Chains A and B, each alone.
Chain A
Amino acid sequence: MSKAFTLALSLLSTPALADWQLNMNKGVTALSREIFDLHMLIFWICVVIGVAVFGVMFYSIFKFRKSKGAVAEHWHENTTVEVFWTVIPSIILIAMAVPATATLMDMYDTSEADVDIQITGYQWKWRYQYLDEDIDFFSNLSTPREEIINQSTKNSNYLLEVDNALVIPANKKVRFLVTANDVIHSWWVPHFAVKKDAIPGFINEAWVKVEEPGVYRGQCTELCGKDHGFMPVVVEVKSEADYAQWVADQKAMKLAMADEASKEFSMDELIAKGEGVYQGACAGCHQPNGQGIPGAFPAITGSSIATGAIGAHVDIIVNGKSGTAMQAFKEQLSAVDIAAVVTYQRNALGNTVGDMVQPSAIQK
């Protein structure tokens, strides 16, 4: 019954926003427009060849039918013609390859960047580290679960929205250093024409220089496991002044957070905070109800770690478990978040251990 209801709801909530975009985005950088032009050039070359070849073919199909009394001729070779249609395509291809190579050389020129940002792919989120500033944060999908499972109407940025967007300045050459922490991901923003694989153990380079401020959205494009479809990229391009302000705000926030970590929290405060952290960071694998997925991701409910010694529990969240999908969360979550989620897991989701841990006790 409820399943039928969800399905009916999903039918009703069919987006009014869907459109019929047929072609590639032109993008917002000089390079993306160059690539768009290459795309259109090769496309029209294909169209012309296609019209010619299919034209002759359909002409033959209509003209040389047995039912119209056509009698087959006997020739079956013609060296001149065969040489002609080997040489002509070769010339077209060389003509095509020249501008393509030039564009490629521009794409590979990552020198003299104004801002350097390291992008690290994690299952299933992005981490952005500003190498010249002390800024370092994670970017998670922020679409509510209810929208994904069709229990509420999908907003216009469905699956293309994050909690913390990457912020870059307009009119500056921004260099991305792309890598990964676990499996291979790929960082793609169509409007920048930047797509680079994020590979553990490697650092790939890409760059962008955006003229206009705005918000640009993309997605991970390399299959990276269960939630591959749920790790969007959002880039906010700000004017130079706004960007400077944003950098200052980030630094102030960081100080405030350090302050908070030394405070003493009550159990209720931690559990309440922990629920939000759990749904954001843990529920993807361990499931919103803590039951996990048998054979793939262990349950939290009744788990020997979540009901065992609290030290070991903190340790696995802080340091992860190597060789499994369990990541080290020490970089991703603040001390407050870790204390909260540990306390939550021990006292919710069907667990009733009754103890708690303070942020000050979290040794990162």
Chain B
Amino acid sequence: MATVDVDLPHVKDEDPHHHGPAKGFGRWLYTTNHKDIGSMYLIFSLSMFMIGGIMALIIRAELFQPGLQLVEPNFFNQMTTMHGLIMVFGAVMPAFVGLANWMIPIQIGAPDMALPRMNNWSFWILPFAFLILLSSLFMPGGAPNFGWTFYAPLSTTYAPESVTFFIFGVHIMGASSIMGAINIIATILNMRAPGMTLMKMPLFVWTWLITAFLLIAVMPVLAGVVTMMLMDIHFGTSFFNAAGGGDPVLFQHVFWFFGHPEVYIMILPAFGIISEIIPTFARKRLFGYSSMVYAVASIALLSFVVWAHHMFTVGMPLVGEVFFMFATMLIAVPTGVKVFNWVATMFRGSMTFETPMLFAIAFVVLFTIGGFSGLMLAIAPADFQYHDTYFVVAHFHYVLVPGAIFSIMAATYYWLPKWTGHQLNETMGKLHFWLSFVGVNVTFFPMHFVGLAGMPRRIPDYALQFADFNSMASVGAFIFGFSQLVFIYNVIQNVRAGEKATAQVWEGAQGLEWTIPSPAPYHTFSTPPKVD
């Protein structure tokens, strides 16, 4: 990371052309301010996290015991589908965009995003996309029930009528993501402060730059695949209909060509966040800055050539299996480099364990466990036993919940004092951390066991030998779910009051964001800082 020596410009709002925020609801509707838009993204993401979380709890409540107790199988499928879609597109992705909005301009010394009006637009179409998606729950035939991966022909010929609304919703989300990505690239490439060369950028900025390219590359693929579905459903084409000469497996290839880079869209910014937090609390520069950048870039490139490892059982030719197995195993190399670098950063540092650091350490450990199960899944012959079982559910929840979600929480606690001007309440922060940490592991670790023992995913009821671990997972899910109320309390409490935060906030923090006062003024870096 850049050692930043800054000629601090006038950070106070002395310039008469700069106004504070407008009053009332209009401020939020018309705002082009990156901080306002960042906050809106984060609040939106938090509310989607809660809605998707309620769905998860409905799923876990039904799975608490064998037998059907609470919901019908069809509704259960709607819950698994909507939970996945909302968490991926509504919670994780907008949270990262929100953090990018808030932090990237500040971290590179820019006054705002490059395209502020588009920024407003890309946020404000999101709530409508999710209203459309959620409204399908109340339509005749119910919401989409074909899984978040919506494999054809279950999602075309055999889909409920609400699938058309789902397609429309996905298009809007995609447009929002593409606009967000264009904005981030334009900002990073054009608006860095003098002296902020690419290889001096904070890693959060770097990872987002690479993520934004991934988004631009694959969101149109997603748009393409849902459009082909739309054509099949309404206009008589047969892209995915074998009876008409189409190919159901084509759907999976196109979907996962989007889907695998999408997985990294949800984890690369997390790598960036963790690479900011660990050096701060280890009081030591990030080990191997440039190898971190190259590792992220190679993970991103590899993500385009591994998609069919999601499809080892579809009956690919042997050479296909072997190619995708090798390519997938390769990803472990740059990912390993990142983990080794984080550990090397801690080694011979001077560590303290404030809330953001606790989440970051938990991220490193638990994400690595998710990485290990990912490596196991890459072994194609063994994958025949793992595929579509709870082992996979355990794997991707380990990389997404204590991975992506913990990184978002770590980032929130890390930068919250900068946003609100109030120091964290460490006691409450640690309470949230420990409840979440225990809850996450009690929920997802037993899933490895039932998966290996043979429990398929996406089933509303299961054979008796899976009962004990399922009860355990359900208990964990409720602990994790309800402990997020502590998170909400912490955030609201911090916005309202608290000990005054200094500009530096954390003793070991480095970077431009710690040179401006806390809370960050409405306009920052109207005159660019000079970075040496």
Contact = CB atoms under 8 A, between A and B. Distances in A.
Interface of A: 6-7, 10-11, 14-15, 17-25, 34-35, 38-39, 42-43, 46, 49-50, 53-54, 56-57, 60-61, 64-67, 70-78, 81-82, 85-86, 89-90, 93, 96-97, 100-101, 103-105, 107-108, 123, 147-150, 154, 156-160, 182-184, 186, 188, 190, 193-197, 199-202, 204-205, 218-230, 293-296, 323, 325
A191 to B, nearest CB: 9
Contacts of A224: 154
Contacts of A74: 284-285
Nearest to A194: B384
Interface string B134-148: 000001111001110
Given A72-B348, A85-B336, 15 more contacts: A6-B69, A18-B466, A21-B449, A23-B449, A35-B384, A53-B368, A64-B348, A100-B379, A104-B325, A147-B67, A154-B67, A190-B454, A201-B243, A225-B158, A296-B74
Interface stretch (B163-171, B207-215, B221-229, B457-465): B457-465
A66 B354 CA distance: 12
B67 A193 contact: no
B316 to A, nearest CB: 10
A222 B151 contact: yes
What 9 pairs across the A-B complex have the smallest Cβ distances? A201-B242, A229-B459, A295-B140, A295-B141, A204-B315, A76-B285, A46-B372, A18-B467, A15-B464
Interface in B238-254: 242-243, 246-249
A160 B463 contact: yes
A225 B154 CA distance: 7
A224 to B, nearest CB: 6
A101 B350 contact: no
B368 A188 contact: no
B364 A57 contact: yes
B340 interface: yes
Interface string B337-360: 101110111111111100000000
B192 to A, nearest CB: 22
B467 A14 contact: yes
Contacts of B346: 57, 60-61, 64
B368 A60 contact: no
Interface string B300-325: 00000000000001110010011001
B74 A226 contact: yes
A70 B284 CA distance: 11
Contacts of A204: 314-315
Contacts of A53: 339-340, 343, 368
Given A22-B449, A159-B463, A205-B315, A71 B350 contact: yes
B393 to A, nearest CB: 12
Contact of A104 (B151, B380, B456): B380
A344 B285 CA distance: 78
B361 interface: yes
Interface of B: 65-69, 72-74, 77, 139-142, 145-147, 151, 153-154, 157-158, 160-161, 242-243, 246-249, 282-291, 313-315, 318, 321-322, 325-326, 329-330, 332-333, 336-337, 339-341, 343-352, 361, 364-365, 368-369, 372, 375-376, 379-382, 384-385, 387-389, 449, 452-454, 456-469, 508
Contacts of A7: 69
Central interface residue in A70, A156, A160, by most chain B CB within 10 Å: A70
Contact of B333 (A56, A90, A225): A90
A97 to B, nearest CB: 6
A38 B332 CA distance: 18
Contact of B151 (A66, A76, A223, A226): A223
A96 B329 contact: yes
A266 B350 CA distance: 89
B65 A10 contact: yes
Contacts of B457: 221, 223
Given A42-B382, A93-B333, A148 B468 contact: no
A57 B343 contact: yes
B139 A295 contact: yes
Nearest to B246: A201
B225 to A, nearest CB: 16
Contacts of A193: 384-385
B236 to A, nearest CB: 11
A147 B369 CA distance: 37
Contacts of B69: 6-7, 10, 150
B378 to A, nearest CB: 9
A197 B151 CA distance: 12
Contacts of A227: 73
Contact of A195 (B330, B351, B384): B384
B375 A17 contact: no
